[in-house]
Structure 1
Amino acid sequence: MNAPPLDVLPGLRAAILAVPEITSRLAPYNGSFSVHTRRPVPDNAPFPMIVIGPTIARTDDDGLSDFRPTAVIDINTYGPQPDRYRDVEAVAERIYGLFHRQASALEVDGYAVTDIRCTGPSPAPVDDESRVGRRVTLTIRLYAKP
């Protein structure tokens, strides 16, 4: 079976941008908000920001005649310390609530989302003590639409 290309990042970004409790705590960027799906983020990207992905791990639970991939992806929230510390924590908590056990929160072209499990928020790596970061890790199970 030939499965469609798997790209969950646009769907994750769209779901996050649809939640005012998240976007109200982010910096504006290029007519939208500082939500990025690639690393490194642009040099001019402002904080607080969200960085989605890349995919950490990808496995599958294929059946005889279907394709059921699983993707593990981090969503990291960063902001300046100490003045936006609480905003970073609140955004990470809201991301967890948005996706944990909420398969209908995500749309992926060519796939049905069957399950999403989250862990975190936990500390995300930062370059120095002037930034705070929180990470939510998503395990996303999908089913390729026939």
Structure 2
Amino acid sequence: MKQGKFSVFLILLLMLTLVVAPKEKAEAASSGWQPVSGISGCKIRVITDAYTYTKSATSIDAYAETNGKCGKLNYKSFGVSIVEGGDIGPQYSGYFSSRTPIKKFYFSKLPKPTGTPWAVGLSVYKGKAKGAAFVYINPQKR
């Protein structure tokens, strides 16, 4: 009887472990904080939902944010580019004070990845102050 209870205990423990164990998920990628020249203490960064995009990924989701010391910043050229190859896909512009809305760049509307690294980034400005932040990503060949 003791062995039966022990077996039930082990099965329940295994089931609990499978339910509670953390699921594998993609790691977000960040440009790190980049200074905006001309605005003291102002920094921006770009964050994407992953660094490596598998063949099953449908989009690159990205946003930019400030460290809260910038006020309202204008941005242009928020988009995807091929490293050493120029812009691809849509380029967004607008303004933000703390964080941009999430921008979605659909792989169906971008050139097929060839193994060359891509970058997601934007340029910001406020009067004569300027800055930029880019995060490098690795889309797998499709």
Q: Same fold (TM over 0.5)?
A: no
Band the TM-score falls in, shorter-chain normalisation: under 0.3
Higher CA-based Rg: 2
Question: TM-score normalized by structure 2?
Answer: 0.27
Question: TM-score normalized by structure 1?
Answer: 0.26
More helix by share: 1
More strand by share: 2
